[in-house]
Amino acid sequence: MKAYIGLGSNVGTRQTNCLHAIELMSRAGMLVTAQSRMYETKAWGVVNQSDFINMCVEIEIPLTPFQLLEELQAIEIQMGRHKSYKWGPREIDLDILFCGEQIIDEERLKIPHPYAHLREFVLEPLAEIAPEFVHPLIGKTIVQMLRRLQTP
Protein backbone atom coordinates (compact mmCIF):
# COMPACT_ATOMS: atom_id res chain seq x y z
CA MET A 1 0.00 0.00 0.00
CA LYS A 2 1.17 3.54 -0.75
CA ALA A 3 1.19 6.05 2.10
CA TYR A 4 2.27 9.66 2.53
CA ILE A 5 4.09 10.73 5.68
CA GLY A 6 4.73 14.27 6.88
CA LEU A 7 7.96 14.85 8.78
CA GLY A 8 8.73 17.81 11.01
CA SER A 9 11.48 18.79 13.42
CA ASN A 10 12.27 21.95 15.41
CA VAL A 11 14.65 20.63 18.09
CA GLY A 12 18.32 19.89 17.55
CA THR A 13 19.75 19.49 14.07
CA ARG A 14 16.43 19.61 12.26
CA GLN A 15 17.57 18.52 8.79
CA THR A 16 19.58 15.62 10.20
CA ASN A 17 16.60 14.56 12.32
CA CYS A 18 14.39 14.31 9.22
CA LEU A 19 16.99 12.35 7.24
CA HIS A 20 17.61 10.01 10.17
CA ALA A 21 13.85 9.36 10.48
CA ILE A 22 13.71 8.42 6.79
CA GLU A 23 16.64 6.05 7.30
CA LEU A 24 14.86 4.44 10.26
CA MET A 25 11.66 4.12 8.23
CA SER A 26 13.63 2.27 5.55
CA ARG A 27 15.20 -0.02 8.16
CA ALA A 28 11.69 -0.80 9.45
CA GLY A 29 10.66 -2.11 6.02
CA MET A 30 9.07 1.01 4.57
CA LEU A 31 10.17 1.51 0.98
CA VAL A 32 10.65 5.24 0.43
CA THR A 33 9.65 5.84 -3.20
CA ALA A 34 9.65 9.67 -3.25
CA GLN A 35 10.93 12.43 -1.01
CA SER A 36 10.29 16.17 -1.10
CA ARG A 37 12.88 18.80 -0.41
CA MET A 38 13.01 20.34 3.07
CA TYR A 39 11.09 23.51 3.92
CA GLU A 40 11.76 25.84 6.83
CA THR A 41 8.41 26.91 8.27
CA LYS A 42 6.95 28.76 11.21
CA ALA A 43 5.34 26.72 13.96
CA TRP A 44 1.61 26.03 13.57
CA GLY A 45 -0.86 25.86 16.46
CA VAL A 46 1.57 26.96 19.18
CA VAL A 47 3.61 29.66 17.47
CA ASN A 48 6.00 30.75 20.24
CA GLN A 49 8.70 28.18 19.43
CA SER A 50 11.55 27.55 16.98
CA ASP A 51 10.93 27.21 13.24
CA PHE A 52 10.41 23.74 11.80
CA ILE A 53 11.95 21.82 8.98
CA ASN A 54 9.10 20.02 7.19
CA MET A 55 9.05 17.55 4.34
CA CYS A 56 6.99 14.64 3.01
CA VAL A 57 7.79 11.16 1.80
CA GLU A 58 5.86 8.60 -0.19
CA ILE A 59 6.30 5.04 1.03
CA GLU A 60 5.21 1.56 0.03
CA ILE A 61 4.31 -0.56 3.03
CA PRO A 62 3.20 -4.11 3.77
CA LEU A 63 1.55 -2.85 6.97
CA THR A 64 -1.94 -1.93 8.06
CA PRO A 65 -2.44 1.74 8.94
CA PHE A 66 -2.43 0.84 12.65
CA GLN A 67 0.83 -1.10 12.29
CA LEU A 68 2.29 1.87 10.42
CA LEU A 69 1.24 4.18 13.26
CA GLU A 70 2.98 1.92 15.79
CA GLU A 71 6.17 1.81 13.70
CA LEU A 72 6.25 5.59 13.26
CA GLN A 73 5.63 6.18 16.97
CA ALA A 74 8.48 3.77 17.81
CA ILE A 75 10.80 5.77 15.51
CA GLU A 76 9.75 9.02 17.21
CA ILE A 77 10.55 7.54 20.63
CA GLN A 78 13.84 6.08 19.39
CA MET A 79 14.82 9.54 18.17
CA GLY A 80 14.17 11.09 21.58
CA ARG A 81 10.65 12.42 21.27
CA HIS A 82 8.77 12.48 24.55
CA LYS A 83 5.27 13.60 25.28
CA SER A 84 4.98 17.31 25.93
CA TYR A 85 2.04 19.49 25.04
CA LYS A 86 -0.01 19.48 21.85
CA TRP A 87 1.85 21.10 18.92
CA GLY A 88 4.90 21.68 21.12
CA PRO A 89 8.59 21.44 20.16
CA ARG A 90 9.84 18.05 19.02
CA GLU A 91 12.89 16.26 17.72
CA ILE A 92 10.75 14.53 15.11
CA ASP A 93 7.10 14.37 14.25
CA LEU A 94 5.91 11.67 11.83
CA ASP A 95 2.31 12.07 10.68
CA ILE A 96 0.39 9.69 8.46
CA LEU A 97 -1.21 12.06 5.98
CA PHE A 98 -2.82 9.53 3.63
CA CYS A 99 -2.80 5.75 3.40
CA GLY A 100 -4.01 4.95 -0.09
CA GLU A 101 -7.58 6.14 -0.26
CA GLN A 102 -8.47 4.71 3.14
CA ILE A 103 -10.63 6.62 5.57
CA ILE A 104 -10.20 5.86 9.25
CA ASP A 105 -11.89 7.89 11.98
CA GLU A 106 -10.95 6.43 15.33
CA GLU A 107 -9.68 8.14 18.44
CA ARG A 108 -6.22 6.61 18.02
CA LEU A 109 -5.89 7.21 14.27
CA LYS A 110 -7.50 9.53 11.76
CA ILE A 111 -6.73 9.11 8.06
CA PRO A 112 -6.66 11.34 6.09
CA HIS A 113 -4.85 13.51 8.61
CA PRO A 114 -7.55 15.92 9.85
CA TYR A 115 -5.44 19.06 9.32
CA ALA A 116 -3.51 18.13 6.16
CA HIS A 117 -5.70 20.25 3.88
CA LEU A 118 -5.24 23.31 6.14
CA ARG A 119 -1.46 23.27 6.42
CA GLU A 120 0.68 24.81 3.72
CA PHE A 121 3.74 23.18 5.32
CA VAL A 122 2.15 19.81 4.51
CA LEU A 123 0.65 20.58 1.11
CA GLU A 124 3.69 22.32 -0.38
CA PRO A 125 6.13 19.42 0.04
CA LEU A 126 3.37 16.91 -0.73
CA ALA A 127 2.66 18.73 -4.01
CA GLU A 128 6.26 17.96 -5.06
CA ILE A 129 5.78 14.21 -4.81
CA ALA A 130 2.02 13.67 -5.26
CA PRO A 131 0.51 16.75 -6.96
CA GLU A 132 -2.47 14.89 -8.43
CA PHE A 133 -3.30 12.76 -5.39
CA VAL A 134 -6.96 13.33 -4.55
CA HIS A 135 -7.99 13.82 -0.92
CA PRO A 136 -10.53 11.01 -0.38
CA LEU A 137 -12.89 13.16 1.71
CA ILE A 138 -12.54 16.57 0.06
CA GLY A 139 -12.26 15.38 -3.55
CA LYS A 140 -9.55 17.92 -4.46
CA THR A 141 -5.97 17.28 -5.56
CA ILE A 142 -3.03 18.29 -3.42
CA VAL A 143 -2.24 21.11 -5.87
CA GLN A 144 -5.83 22.38 -5.80
CA MET A 145 -5.86 22.47 -1.99
CA LEU A 146 -2.46 24.20 -1.93
CA ARG A 147 -3.62 26.88 -4.39
CA ARG A 148 -6.71 27.49 -2.28
CA LEU A 149 -4.53 28.16 0.77
CA GLN A 150 -2.14 30.41 -1.17
CA THR A 151 -4.89 32.51 -2.76
CA PRO A 152 -5.88 35.48 -0.57
Q: Is 14 among the residues known to form the active site? A: no
Domains and their CATH numbers in the chain: 2-113 (3.30.70.560)
DSSP letters along 14-78, please?
HHHHHHHHHHHHHHTT-EEEEE---EEE--SSS-SSPPEEEEEEEEE-SS-HHHHHHHHHHHHHH
Digit-by-digit pLDDT tens for the chain (152 residues) are 999 999 999 999 999 999 999 999 999 999 999 999 999 998 877 778 899 999 999 999 999 999 999 999 999 999 997 666 565 688 999 999 999 999 999 999 999 999 999 999 999 999 999 999 999 999 999 999 999 998 87
Q: Name the catalytic one among 90, 105, 147, 148.
A: 90
* Full-model pTM: 0.94
Q: Is 119 among the residues known to form the active site? A: no
